[in-house]
Structure 1
Amino acid sequence: MIGTIANTIAILVGSITGSFLKKGIKPRYQNALYNAMGLAAVALGINAVATHMPKSQYPVLFIGSLALGSLLGTKLNLERRFQGLINRYSKSNLAQGLTTGLLLYCIGTLSIVGPVMSALYGDHTYLYTNATLDLVTSTVLAGTYGIGMALAAPVLFLWQGSIYLLTCLAGPVISDALVTEISIVGGILIFCSGISILKIKEIKTLDLLPSLLVPPLFFVLKKVVECFL
């Protein structure tokens, strides 16, 4: 778990550092940071999809994932509920920042494979690398959205900690194929978040979040069917 702890601390340190920098940034420079984060999210999203799409063994799975996930997320009204919760304590658009941050921190090869490698082989390289990237990202995000970005740290800890414990108990249950499918869907969500930040089109990214559950469920059902055949 040491790699996950380091990753969590990196986000906390970055969020605190960025929040102090924000106090001295003029509004026009803050606007420049918004644009920079929007462009970065778009670029990272496109890169994730372009990198993993050629490796996909199920090229239409991401379409079904987005369709089913968006229906469930809209039914649960996740975006409005989350916005309402955050707006009780913050007048800024912190909810948008947290959505982007959580996607960048949690949905990526390093953040998914890292805990697996840590649990199986004691290799923390992936997580230390991810911690370094998240330190920079969290500093910029907190410089844009404020200290509230630190709320992403415990979520990351629970996410990576759950993968770590699951791997310790059940072995390498997260296959390369599953990581590929999750990364494709996650890349699209990161891209959508960037589009929203740039105000090109308002996309309720949180309502798409259940899409990330579809690939794991697909692989579980596939395994069950194979057991009966």
Structure 2
Amino acid sequence: MIGTIVNVVLIVMGSMIGSVFKKGLKEQYQDILMQGMGLAVAALGVFAITKHMPDSEYPVLFIVSLAIGGVIGERVNMEEKFHQLVSKVSKGNLAEGLSTAILLFCIGTLSIVGPIESALNGNQTYLFTNAILDFVTSIVLAATFGIGIALSAVVLFCWQGFFYVAAKMVSGFITPELLTEISIIGGVLILSSGLSILGVRKFRTINLIPSLVIPVIYLVAKNLLWT
């Protein structure tokens, strides 16, 4: 879990640095920082899609998965429930900033696909990229809300730790073809996160997360029918 540990450390460091700027960073600097991070995340999503798409044996599966998964996520309203849960942290100015930080740090697909990729392939790229993004974001937030933003690192550790442990537990059942399909969908979700950060459009990425499960159901059903 080296990637998650680095992520946590950088959030704490960013919160400490940002708290020094008590009057907050100027809006123009906040904008350029977030634009740079948004472009980086979008580029990473495109890279994941183009890397794994040629290896896919089911080129339409990711489209069907996004459609079905999106409908399921929207029906359950996962994003709204996540917002409601975070808003219960506490009241006041710090609570507002802390809620925002938790949403920004955990809602991103990098915080989900990253620990899974780390557990299955030992690849820390997504987590390191997420760590840099969260470092910059924590500076901006702590400049406005104070050092208390560092508390979000605890939530992030538990969040990413859950996906890391879960992926380790089922690693023996994950085949190369399944990993390819999940990686393509993960790339699409990462791209959507990047476009959301850039303000191109606000995607309800959390409601699309069930899409990652559809390839699992499909391939398990396919193998059962063929045996």
Kept in 2: contact 1:34–1:144 (CA 8 A): no
Gaps of 5+ in 2: 90-94, 142-148
Which residues in structure 2 correspond to 1:103-114 (within 5 Å)? Answer: 103-108=109-114, 111-114=115-118
Match of 2:225 in 1: 225
Deviation at 1:104, TM superposition (A): 1.1
Report deviation, 1:144: 4.1
Q: Which residue of 1 aligns with 2:25?
A: 26
Amino acid at match of 1:82: F
Per the TM alignment, residue 148 of structure 1 is displaced from its structure 2 partner at its CA by 5.3
Aligned to 1:91: 96
Partner residue in 1 for 2:199: 199
Aligned to 1:142: 138
Give, in angstroms, the shift of residue 33 of structure 1. 2.1
The residue correspondences of 1:40-119 to structure 2 (distance < 5 A) are 40-89=40-89, 90-92=95-97, 93-94=100-101, 95-100=103-108, 103-108=109-114, 111-116=115-120
TM-score by length of 1: 0.79
Q: Is the 8 A contact 2:110 2:127 kept in 1?
A: no
Q: TM-score, normalised by structure 2?
A: 0.80
Q: Which residue of 2 aligns with 1:10?
A: 6
Q: 1:197 to 1:182 in 2, by over 3 A?
A: same
Partner of 2:190: 190
What SS does the aligned partner of 1:34 have?
helix
CA distance in 1, matches of 2:206, 2:178: 21
- Call closer, same or farther: CA 1:41–1:149 in 2, change over 3 Å: farther
Identity of matched residues, %: 31
Contact 1:112 1:160 in 2 (8 A): yes
Q: How many residues align?
A: 207
| Structure 1 residue identity aligned to 2:60 | V
Change (3 A) 1:35 1:207: same
Q: CA deviation at 1:165?
A: 2.7
Taking only aligned residues, the RMSD between alpha carbons, in angstroms, comes to: 2.3
By how many angstroms is 1:132 displaced?
Answer: 5.0
Contact 2:25 2:140 in 1 (8 A): no
For residues 175-186 of structure 1, what are the structure 2 equivalents within 5 Å?
175-186=175-186
Instruction: Classify the secondary structure of the residue corresponding to 1:91.
Output: helix
Is this contact kept in 2: 1:46–1:191, CA < 8 A?
A: yes
SS in 2 for 1:220: helix
Match of 2:145 in 1: none
- For 1:157, the aligned partner's letter is G
Report deviation, 1:113: 4.9
